[in-house]
Amino acid sequence: MDLGAMVCRFGTRRQTADMKVRALVIDGRVKEYALGMPHEVTERLFVVRRAFRVNDSLPEDSGPHWQWQRGGWLLVDRLTGHVSPINLPEFDAVYSAASWYRDYVAYCGVADDGKKTFAIVAQISRR
């Protein structure tokens, strides 16, 4: 598994920032794109933040306007090469920042109406 790097811009047309996007290569093929450094959960598993490309152009625009956006977290199994998304309750891909300790993650969640924030600690594979 390899994380090759490229620097890209993300954000709205008025406000952009740089982020380092890496290709998550498994068995010689690009499976996903990720940003930031991976976090080792066990010797077999690690998590990494997902990044994806979105066409932000309108129908009347002359061509596509591609931009990178942050996504949720991915759990990667080194032995099988299986990549699966992690469902973190109330995690907002734009505003939430996660802190990892082994298989625990702490972050601030945002309510659906956007008016409340919650401090959340979750364990991977636990309800």
The structural domains of the chain, with segments of one domain joined by +, span 2-123
Question: Regarding predicted confidence, which is higher, 37 or 16?
Answer: 37
Torsion of CA 122, 104, 92, 23, to 10 degrees: -140
pLDDT score of 2 more than 60: no
Q: For residue 82, what pLDDT is reported?
A: 92
Q: For residue 15, what pLDDT is reported?
A: 56
**75, 87 contact by CB (below 8 A):** no
The residue type found at 122 is A
Quote helix, strand, coil % in the chain, to nearest 5: 0, 60, 40
What φ, ψ does residue 96 adopt, rounded to 5°?
-85, 135
pLDDT score of 77 more than 80: yes
pTM of the full structure: 0.75
Whole-angstrom Cα distance, residue 115 to residue 127?
Answer: 25
Q: What mean pLDDT is predicted for residues 71-94?
A: 88
**pLDDT (tens digit, 9 = 90+) per residue, 36-67?**
889 999 899 999 999 988 888 888 888 888 88
Which pLDDT band, with edges at 50, 70 and 90, does 16 fall under?
low
